[in-house]
Amino acid sequence: MRTEIALAGKSAPKLGGMESESDLQRRLAELQQRLRELEQQNSDLEIALETAIEHGDAIDREISATNRRLVGEIAERVRAEARLERLLEALRQQKADLEILVATVSEHSDGIDADWLRRYAEAETTALTDELTGLANRRGLNLALDRSWRRCLRTGSSLALLMIDIDYFKSYNDAHGHLAGDKCLGLLAQILKRACGRPDDLAARYGGEEFVLVLPETDLPGACRVAERIQKELTACALPHPGSGFGLLTISVGVSARVPSAEHDVAALLAEADRLLYVAKREGRNTLRSA
């Protein structure tokens, strides 16, 4: 009993054992403040817990979506690998077939090469040749003109052109028929071939009864001499042509020659020969004009 009294005496306030009102109010205020702090902490904990739960749900959804995506990608990859394997198998088969083909071609390459070259040469010749006369056609002429122009431009030599037209050819056809007209064209074509004395000379059928002779490295006097020889050889054939004022088949010729330059082109040279041909025809035919 005395012990309890002693202990109580140590903790009891002085002044008769009673606390003042101000002390009680102060302690009450402290307790209320502490209560508010605890309530705030409890609220914060509840918010944090709710946020964690919400984030956990979102994470779960993201993980589920990712898993589904990965499963789909894996399935697509498996399908792609299967397609690739089928493609590789097809390529391996094609490679084997190609090796067999190459081996077969190699065994017969000499014969195949020779036959291919022959066929190519025939096709190229056909594409550049006039079927009726055997001379170069317009395409062959254009290639020869371009080639000869560039060659003479490089060497600084003259390029000459002869534009040739059979006089009164329509009346010859009307009188003797188209077969005779074709023979007439063939005869002149043979004369023009013989006039091409060098490998680079070329005779071409320009169209209808018009022909062109391409003479690289030939000046105007030399080209005129070639034209005169052609006229004389045709006259010597003495092919009758009653519809002509001369009684025989004759030709008119326009001759042009020029040293190529960068300021001109071969089309201008051809146009000049054509102009001179029509001058010869206007001035009586069976003649040549040059410039």
Residues labelled as active-site residues: 209
SS (H, E, C) 188-244: HHHHHHHHCCCCCCEEEEEECCEEEEEEECCCHHHHHHHHHHHHHHHHHHCCECCCC
Give the pair of three-digit tokens for residue 258.
């020029």
Look at the block and give the residue holding tokens 């502490």: 34
Cβ neighbours around 291 below 10 Å, total: 13
